[in-house]
Amino acid sequence: MSSKHQYVIRLSVVGIVLAVATGFAWKANRPQTSRKPNIVIVLADQWNAQSLGYAGNVDVKTPNLDKLAQRSVIFTTAVSVMPVCSPARASLLTGQYPLTHGVFYNDRPLRNEALTLAEIYKEAGYATGYIGKWHINGQANYEKQFAARNRAVPRDRRQGFDYWKAREVTHDYNSSFYFDENDVRHEWPGYDVFPQTDSAISFIDKNKNNPFLLVLSWGPPHDPYQTAPEAYRKMYDPARLKLRPNVPDSLQAKARKDLAGYYAHCTALDKSAGDLLNALKREGIEENTILLFTSDHGDMLYSQGKVRKQKPWDESVLVPLLVHYPAGLGVAKRELALPFSNVDILPTLLGISNMKIPETVEGNNYAAILTGRQKPTGNEAALIQVPVPFHENNFLNGGREYRGIRTKRYTYVRDLKGPWLLYDNAKDPFQLKNLIGSPAYADVQAKLERTLRAKLADAKDQFLTADEHMRQWHYRYDGKDSLRASGL
């Protein structure tokens, strides 16, 4: 019997025990609620942590999320465990590291045996819904690259989600379609973020009297950058935008153009975030809804001379993360610098929901810190893994296998040859000075190395070559991803 089915059998019995063992203590620390909390996860694609007004960015216009942040818990060091689409999404749904669930390469399937967020909440009586980009159904090993991106996701591959208006992958946001529960294809009219959010509001309206779990997964602000509605693109003049100091002079014109389009997407998404929050208020369920806003990974946008994701620098690794839950967390703004990975989202949501965390979950339950019942130790670290560099970050393009940690203050990264990067982010927030081998940071580096080794042991990650991981999982490289430049 699989761990998933064992868990489902035990869940109802364990829930009764938990209610007795922990329920009274939990309720003493939060306002009383008459029913289970709803869960709404808003997941953007490739939205980096610094491109929000509440994060201190004076150029981007995100008024609705800024207002939400004033009434929420803000994680200022939220980390993508593997900063690329499919691995990060699979980790969010399972609470597992990529080398455990096996999705460490885009377009590889999250296996049916995985125990997921929706399956756990569904067994607890929740209605479940998913809208938008999926990107964990994947393709068969014998198929061509991207072969499955436009196909319907079969019912048994939806990982516990019943309400279904989703598509595996698209980045054509103005000519977008989805499949419903019966695999019937429909068109999203106009810029797909807006009708997707309308669909989410409809789901909320239909399920407001019963507990529900909803994931709204937007495609933007992932490139192409210049495709937001014209009204939003007109808000941004590239020449007036401020670039990060780590963008090389030679790339600044290109960076400003792309950043203007990226911000236009962000502002369009912010409009939809406002619509969604207003719907929760209108239905009278905002108080008892855990609303979590985040992204799968960030976007370099020419910082360090790099583009997009899979990189170990903060622009790629750090993501926004807001948690809004008036009944359990109050409505006072709180900032937490705790390194919080997307593998920690599932166990922490279960902790807040007062539900058992299954043994398959590898992330940390930070519910006690989130609610203020405990304080961070200051020694927490989030693991970053890129077991196989691929596609635009393949070996020929300079990609490499690496492992790293992001702490409250430091970034430390190794590749297969040894220590690679060390940044003191408190003194050097734009990561301009690599401190590897610096005598002044020798003790810091040694401590971070010990922490990294401990995190790798916890994750059962032996830090093997990309070829070995692909062989173990019987995966085939796409395109030229297996090729190395001569001498490597």
User: What residues are annotated to the active site?
Assistant: 85, 135
Q: Give the long-range contacts of residues 450-453, CB within 8 A, separation 24 or more.
A: 451/379, 451/381, 451/405, 451/407, 451/412, 452/381, 452/383, 452/403, 452/404, 452/405, 452/412, 452/414
Sign, CA dihedral 479-481-485-486, equals negative
Token pair of 237 as six digits: 């003049």
Strand (E) positions, 57-111? 73-75, 78-79
Distance CA 340, CA 364 (A): 9
Q: Give the CA distances from residue 365 to residues 12, 61, 149, 356, in Å, rounded to whole numbers and listed in that order.
A: 20, 33, 33, 11
**Residues 48-76: b if buried by 16+ CB within 10 A, e if exposed:** bbbbbbbbebeebbbebbebbbebbbbbb
How far apart, in whole angstroms, are the C-alpha atoms of residue 175 and residue 132? 13
What are the tokens at 164?
A: 């279904």
The contacts of residue 256 (CB under 8 Å, 6+ apart) are: 238, 239, 241, 243
DSSP string spanning 469-481? HHHHTT----TTT
Work out the angle between the directed axes of helices 252-282 and 193-207 (0-180°, nearest 10): 20
**155: helix, coil or strand?**
helix
Q: Which of helix, strand or coil describes residue 227?
A: helix
CA angle in degrees (0–180, nearest 5) for 251-255-257: 125
- Which of 260, 178, 186, 184 is closest to 217 using CA atoms? 178
Residue type, 461: D
Helix (H, G, I), strand (E, B) or coil at 412: strand
Helix (H) or strand (E) holding 386: strand 381-386
